[in-house]
Amino acid sequence: MYKLLLAGLVTLLLVGCSDQSWRTTDIGDIMPKLDFSLTDEEGEAVQGEDYRGKVTLVYFGYTFCPDVCPITLARLGDAIRKLDEETRDEIQVLFISVDPSRDTPEVLKRYTHAFGPEFVGLTGDKAEIDAVTNRYRVAYEYSEANENGDYLVNHSSAVFAFDREGQAQFLVRDSHPVSDVEADIKRLVAKG
């Protein structure tokens, strides 16, 4: 019983204490504001500023990826679905394609739709994609195409989180437990 109380107290302290204690990786001081020039899944030119006003999660991937990308997005969707509706409305997830030649706005729209209304696909030309990936220091590389013309893309496995003003907050790595991810998303939304 005492242990439980103590655990509760520690949790309260941790939650109440500071802005700095993300359970995932803090990137507040090392990553720039959310900014880019890309094309959304309606084919419209968009800027980073267009996505201010909501908590924004950003993931770099490609739709030809059958395993890591859909699983990562589905788990994010799960985490979001556990929140109450009001909180959910405060969140958007940007799926930035690192494979623009296959990921047209049409392909992206159908793809992100499967994960929930919070998900938006973004694509662009190579220079625009490179500008975003360089900005957030993520790499990507294409494998050689096989006899069917299919190629794979190695890409960042991280999810970047930004607050409503577009300031970088935390980064989710593959190794972070889902419970930590959920707690940090919730806290970021609550931060107002």
Partner 1 sequence: MANNLPGVLIGRACQGMALSALTLLLMAGVAQAQSLEVTNARLSLLPGDTPGAGYFELQNLSDEAVALVGAESPAFENVEMHVSSEHNGMAHMHAIESIEIAPGERIEFAPKGHHLMFIRRATPLSEGDEADVVLKFSDEQRLPVTFEVVSPASM
Residues contributing to the site for partner 1 (CB under 8 A)? 61, 63-71, 73-74, 77-78, 107, 110-111, 113-115, 138-139, 143, 148-150, 152, 154-158, 173-174
Please indicate if the annotation marks 65 as binding a ligand.
yes
Closer by beta carbon to partner 1, 81 or else 191: 81
Closer by beta carbon to partner 1, 7 or else 68: 68
Residue 87 Cβ vs partner 1, minimum distance, rounded to whole Å: 19
Please indicate if the annotation marks 176 as binding a ligand.
no
- Identity of the residue numbered 18: S
Residue 142 Cβ vs partner 1, minimum distance, rounded to whole Å: 12
In the numeric block, which tokens belong to residue 70?
A: 């859909």
C-alpha 31/C-alpha 136 separation (Å) is 7
Give, as one character, the DSSP assignment of residue 48.
Answer: G
Burial of 49-77, coded b for 16+ CB within 10 Å and e otherwise, reads eebeebbbbbbbbbbebeeebbebbebbb
Residue 178 Cβ vs partner 1, minimum distance, rounded to whole Å: 12
